[in-house]
Structure 1
């Protein structure tokens, strides 16, 4: 993992709402439905979408669509690579 990717992930992790999303996903077997994220954060849907988009762009979570709803899962490979990269700094 190059330093640019480490920076992108670190910036994605620098927001409390994104950390809450990730914390919830850890407790929920690495899964999240978009509707649960709105309830979890008590934010409007556009704000939640913004936070989720940042996590997807950083490749910390993956998104997929089932019917009309988006679902998300933790990207454990990126997490593991990120941790290794931080240790090597």
Structure 2
């Protein structure tokens, strides 16, 4: 298991703003400035209700953790979910769950 990469993913997931951003990326509809090739920074900023620098900071952490990919187009950056970081989180949680002892059934 990649403990450093997994720790970065969980650190990124440990903030409510970043969780909201991930949820928005996963559920955004065509009504936002989505081009089908990512969600614009302006929409993420509006959804989170944060300043542009704060939004960029949170998105940078998500990108560095591998949860999101980014592409610069003109003056805006567009974001999409990345399966890599989400897979790391799922694998880590699954491994921990597998290690939890199962309760013993009592004989009647």
The TM-score with structure 1 as length reference comes to: 0.89
- Deviation of 1:85 after TM superposition, in Å, equals 2.5
Flag the structure with larger Rg.
2
Partner of 1:22: 22
Deviation at 1:78, TM superposition (A): 2.7
CA displacement at 1:58 relative to structure 2: 0.3
Gap regions ≥5 residues in structure 1: none
**The one of 64, 76, 79 aligned to 2:71:** 64
How many residues in Structure 1 have an aligned counterpart in Structure 2?
A: 89
Q: Which has the higher contact order (CA 8 A, sep 6+)?
A: 1
> Bigger CA drift: 69-78 or 30-39?
30-39
TM-score by length of 2: 0.74
Q: Which residue of 2 aligns with 1:32?
A: 39
Gaps of 5+ in 2: 30-36, 97-108
